[in-house]
Every structure is written in C-alpha cells, then in structure tokens.
Chain A
Amino acid sequence: MTRSLNLPRRTVLAGALIAPFVVRAQGKEPIKIGNAMPMTGSQAGYGNDFVTAMRMGVADVNAAGGIAGRPVELIALDTQAEPQLAINAVNRFIGVDKLPMFFTAWSPVVKAVAPIANREQVLEINCGANSPEIANLGDYVYTAFPLAEVDVVKLAKYTFTTLGKKRVAVLYINNDTGIDAAKLYRDTFTAAGGQIVAFETYDPKATEFTGMLLKTRAANPDMVHIHGLINDIPQVIAQMRQLGLTQRVSSYSAAYNQKLLDQLGAAAEGLIVTSLAPGVADNPRVAPYIERWKKEIGRVPNGLPYTQYQYDMVYLVKALYEHLDKKGTPATGTSLREALLAVREFDLPLTGKMIIEGHRVDKTVYLLTVEKGAYVPLATLN
C-alpha cells in the first residue's frame, strides 16, 4: 500500500513564503524516502502515526527548500509489523523504487529485512525498534533509535539503586521485541545485586495472562517489569490488578501511550515508562510539534517520543545527502553508509544531538510515571 504525500494547509502557506527555494527544488528529481511501517494490523495505531510524523518532517524540509535543492518524497509501505510483508515492502523499495536507503521499525521486521539490505548494499536504518540484536545485523543495518541496552539497562539500575526494589518479576512477550530486552533487564538487575523472582513470557496473540500472573503473585515481587507491545501491556496490567497484584509496574517506551491510560484508569497509577526523546520541558520545539498534531490531526500522537524520531529522520537524510552533495558523490547505499559514519554527529530538531557509535546510538533516558491519570517526569538518566 502506498500513501501519497498530503501537505497540510499551514505548511503550504509557509511554503508559499519561500517560493523561490521551492520552485528551485521542484525542478529537480525528488529524493525518495522509503518508510516500511505497520499501517494496518494490531500495531497500526503506532505505525500510522509514525508515517504521519515523517510526512510532517518531509513537508517542513520541502517548505524550507528541500534537500540540496531537491524536493523530498515519502514512500510509505505497510508491513503490519510482520516479517513477510516487510520483506515484500523492502523488495519493492529496492527493486521498483530503486531506493538507496530506507527506514523501518519493529524488531522482527528490522531483523527480517536485514539480509536483503546487506545483500543489496542498501542502507537500512531502524528508527523505532529496540532489540539489542539490531546492533549485530550486518554492515548496512544501522539504528537511529537507542536499543534496549540504553533504556532497559538504565531503568533496571534505577529500579535497584534509586527505587530500592530488590525483587522484580519480568513478564515479556515471546518475540524479538521482548526476549532480548527481558534478558537484558534480568542480567542488569541481577548484576546490580537484585533478584529476578519470576521470568515469564507470553504468546504474542495471548489475551489471557492469569496463569502467568498467578505464578508472579506467588513469587511475591517488589515490582513488576513488563516488556510487551501496546496491544498486550494494558491487558496484562488490568489482569494483574484484578488478581490482586498491587505492585508498581515498569515498562519501556511502548507503554508511553495515552490509550493505555484510558484503558487502565486508576490501575495505571505509578506505572513507570521510558522515553528516549526530550519532552516539552527539555526541548522548546516539542510543544509546537504537539500543538501541530492537535491542530492537524486533532489529537496527540500515539507514542510521542517515537514520532519525534520519525520526524527527525528526514533531517538525518538531509544531512547525509548534503554531505554527499558537497563531495559530489552520487547517493548509493554504500555512499550513504559512508556518509552516515563520516557525519556521525547529527543535531536533530526534536530529539536533539545524536551520535552514531558503530551500530548503536546512546541517548538520555527520560523516565516518566503516571500520576493522577497523566504521565509526569520522574527522572532523567544520562
């Protein structure tokens, strides 16, 4: 499924003010950005908002004259967060659209398409998945999004040292999103001196978690860490509370979602989530970005921090192409990869400074907790 680029009215008006740049940009062949995201299926709530955020980035870059005088065009294809569909999408990016690079997210998807990127020497950039294994997927697979070793490690240490929790139960989804991150949490928490009293996994299609939760209840943890997806995390927490488990819950950035608060109400109180992007108080550009969502889409985005990365990816592309333009090098998967490693440090509008360190990035982790039905800042972990 291809989605055409629809520019919001405000952006068009802004674009008119800098018409000379735009005219110059539109006379040239567009730079196409491929984005393979789940636009249907259970993860569509996030996937569609990711694409919308990237569209906003494209609109803003085009309104400011494009990239090296060329307009930007977004090609978004649906993956349903399923590896097979993602492979089809990436084959189309490479075979039909002849793209030298593409973006994607969701750990199973990032992993599934990595062999294609490596074989075809096309640059794959993860901008939303966090499995630690993403750092080891090959020469052409990079991440602009911090992997679980960033937020999960910092969260596990914070839980032990600052919150003083000694016994934690880890519940995780049995797929690439959950398995590696849960192991990372377990290893970090244990190394810090804590005890993992329950380490339970659940099927990605499960809707009943009673057995797993009763086992957790019997283990009597001080705290419960859940590493799942937005479809299952609220159900796990709801069933936890209904079975009388009152322990504080932590999760990661997938649980930073207003819909979760709507579904759980008071049961979400005390929930700790991570955010890998600065919030309103940390970056003055974030508040106008949220306002823009409210104005153009009528609500705040699902997974706000993720969407900040999506928006910023257009500026990452801009930096890479401008680097190649200065050198007079054509854009290929190989030259873009070399540009990524050469530029290395990017100053992005919504997520701030990003330094590529091999196949990883390190970022500040912002912890938020739920108080009176809203996410409020809890701590900043550098």
Chain B
Amino acid sequence: MFEPIILAQILWTGIATSSPYVLLTVGFALTLKVTGLWNFAQSGQMAIAFYAMFFALNAMAWPLVAAIAFGIVLTAGSAILVEVYGLQVLRDRRSDSLMFFIFTLILAEFIIYVITLLFGTEPETLYRSILSPVDIIGGIAISEWDKLGVTLTAGALAGLYAFMRYTKEGQFLAAVADNAKLAELYGISAQRAYRVVAVISALFIVAAMYLIGSHGGIVPNTPLELVLSAVIGTLLGGIGRVFAAAWASVFLALIQSFSILFLGSRWQNLLLYGLLFATILVFPRGVRLQRLWGR
C-alpha cells in the first residue's frame, strides 16, 4: 500500500474527486462572505441544477451545451428569485440571523420536495453510462472525468480570482463583504452585489452538479448532504476566506483518501466529522496555516 505508485494514485484521485466539492464550497463560502448568510437554500439550487440538466439531456434530448445553459438559467434564476423575494424581504424586515437560517433550510426542503414529486426518488445520472474513458499515465489511472473535474475547477477558481481582483464588480463585492453600509455610502449597491454573488454561486453549482451527476447516481435528497460538505470546507477554511475554503475541501478529500492507508473505509466519515468537531472547538475561525507555522 505504501508504494509510490499507489500513493500517487491516491493523491491524484483525491484531488480529482474533490473537484465538485471545491466548486460547491466556493459557491457557499463566497455567498457567506458577501451576504453574511449561511445559505442552505443552495442545496435546493443544487437539486434544480442537476434535474434541469437531467431533464434537458434525457427527456428533451437536447445537446450538452443547451442542457448546461438550461441548468444555468434555472439555477441562476431561482437564486435571483430567492434573493429578491425572500432574503431581501427578510433584510427589509430586519429579521435576525436565525430567521434567515430557518428560511433557507425550509426553502431547500421545499424545492427538494417539489423535485421529488416531479422526478421521483430513483437515483439518476446525467448520462445513461457512468463510465468515463481512462488513460494510464505513468502507472496512474486518469479518467476523462478526472481531467474535466480538475480543469473545470482550476479554471473556475482562476476566473473567480481574476473577477474579484481585476473587475470593478468584483471589487464592489469585496467592499460589500467588508462593510455593506459603508459600501453603500460610496454608491455601491449592496442589493446588486447580492444578486451578482447569487449568479456566480449558481455557475459554480451547475459546474459541480454536472461533475457529480456524470459520475454517479443522484436522488433529490443528495444535495442536502452535499451542502454539508460545503459547510465543512467553509468552516475549515475560515469564514470569509473563499480560496482557503477551496483548499480546505481539497485537504479534506486527501485526508479521506489517504486515511485508507491506516483505517478501514467505514471510519472515513467518522474521521471527517471528528475533524470538523475539532476544528469548531479548537479553530473556530478556521485553520490558518501561517499562524500554525508561526507557533
């Protein structure tokens, strides 16, 4: 088990399989950073994204590009609707954070319930086959799905970085994230920033759900578990640190992958939740490598 080729395979598949989780975590962490909300309604948007693409590809037999576009339109549209007719209403009422939490959670359950009625509860995949062609490179099995996942995630992260750093809209998001009221004094619309972040998150969600849905079966309840992985990544990375949350997701996947060298598969989830438990207790503001290094 400790041969270099096995370790390299674990490293690669750990990174590749973390791709969709990184995308979901970034979408979740970015929303939290800019709006200050733990937006569990994103699990409903994950369900919308997957089933929209599933419907377009399988029931309508649309080409892939059209199916993805359909997924983006429905997911981003629902995110905007939630923002305008849900979250903004609560903000206007000066509702407390518990009310936001309950609202997003109930909304997610509602969306998933409707999707259950529409699509049933059998596991579905985007494509009939869940196999992806594999190349053996240097003794390591690398599938087309792996390549797509890593490329898509790296591209999305680079794009987000460039957007946040080099565009005015991105800088507005950062300003609203720092202090929404102060930003508004400078003429930056917080409401617009919230809508922009809703659309960006929707793009990340669609990309992630495409990857997950082309790799294995999804039932309407699956997103409720997926959003939990996004929460764990966000907590580990530290609230407000979007790219650190992305790294935390990769780290979590690698911990789970490498733990197989020492632990049975059945302990992997226990390890994950144990890590989260320890993080919340010991590092409530997330794990900061620089500080750990400094100690």
Contacts and interface: CB of A to CB of B under 8 A. Distances in A.
A263 B134 contact: no
What class of interface size applies to chain A in its complex with B? 35 or more
Contacts of A234: 130, 217
A211 B1 contact: no
B268 interface: yes
Identify whether the interface residues of A are mostly helix, strand, loop, or mixed.
helix
Contacts of B122: 42, 44-45
A262 B129 contact: yes
Interface string B1-28: 1010010011001100100000000000
A235 B265 contact: no
A242 interface: yes
Contact of B131 (A203, A210, A241): A241
B176 interface: no
B129 to A, nearest CB: 5
B121 A231 contact: no
A119 interface: no
A231 B123 contact: yes
Identify whether the interface residues of B are mostly helix, strand, loop, or mixed.
mixed
B266 A263 contact: no
Residue in B13, B121, B129, B264 whose Cβ sees the most chain A Cβ within 10 Å: B121
Residue in A80, A210, A265 whose Cβ sees the most chain B Cβ within 10 Å: A210
What class of interface size applies to chain B in its complex with A? 35 or more
Contact of B217 (A201, A215, A231): A231
A263 B268 contact: no
Nearest to A171: B265
A265 B131 contact: yes
A214 B6 contact: yes
A80 B212 CA distance: 23
B121 A243 contact: no
Interface in B239-260: 256-260
B120 interface: yes
Contacts of A44: 120-122
Contacts of B258: 211
Nearest to B225: A205
Nearest to B132: A242
Contacts of B17: 208, 210
Contact of A242 (B6, B116, B123, B141): B141
A195 interface: no
A174 interface: yes
Contact of B141 (A238, A243, A265, A266): A243
A202 B263 CA distance: 12
Contacts, number: 102
Contacts of B264: 200-201
A218 interface: yes
A265 B129 contact: yes
Nearest to A199: B264
B260 A215 contact: yes
Nearest to B128: A262
A244 interface: yes
A90 B295 CA distance: 59
Given A44-B121, A44-B122, A263-B128, A203 B269 contact: yes
Given A235-B216, A242-B131, A267-B131, A214 B123 contact: no
B260 A212 contact: yes
B104 interface: no
Contacts of A266: 131
A7 B9 CA distance: 55
A26 interface: no
A214 B260 contact: yes
Interface of B: 1, 3, 6, 9-10, 13-14, 17, 116, 120-123, 125, 128-132, 134, 136, 141, 143, 145, 212, 215-217, 219, 225, 256-260, 264-266, 268-269
Given A210-B13, A214-B1, A218-B3, 14 more contacts: A41-B121, A45-B123, A202-B265, A203-B266, A206-B265, A211-B256, A211-B260, A214-B10, A235-B217, A242-B141, A242-B145, A243-B141, A244-B134, A264-B130
Interface of A: 40-42, 44-45, 80, 174, 200-203, 205-212, 214-215, 217-218, 231, 234-235, 238, 241-244, 262-267
Closest 8 CB pairs of A and B: A211-B260, A212-B265, A210-B13, A244-B141, A207-B216, A40-B121, A235-B216, A201-B266
22 contacts: A41-B121, A42-B219, A44-B120, A80-B121, A201-B265, A201-B266, A203-B269, A205-B225, A207-B215, A212-B265, A214-B10, A214-B260, A215-B260, A215-B265, A218-B1, A234-B217, A235-B217, A242-B131, A244-B136, A262-B129, A263-B130, A264-B130
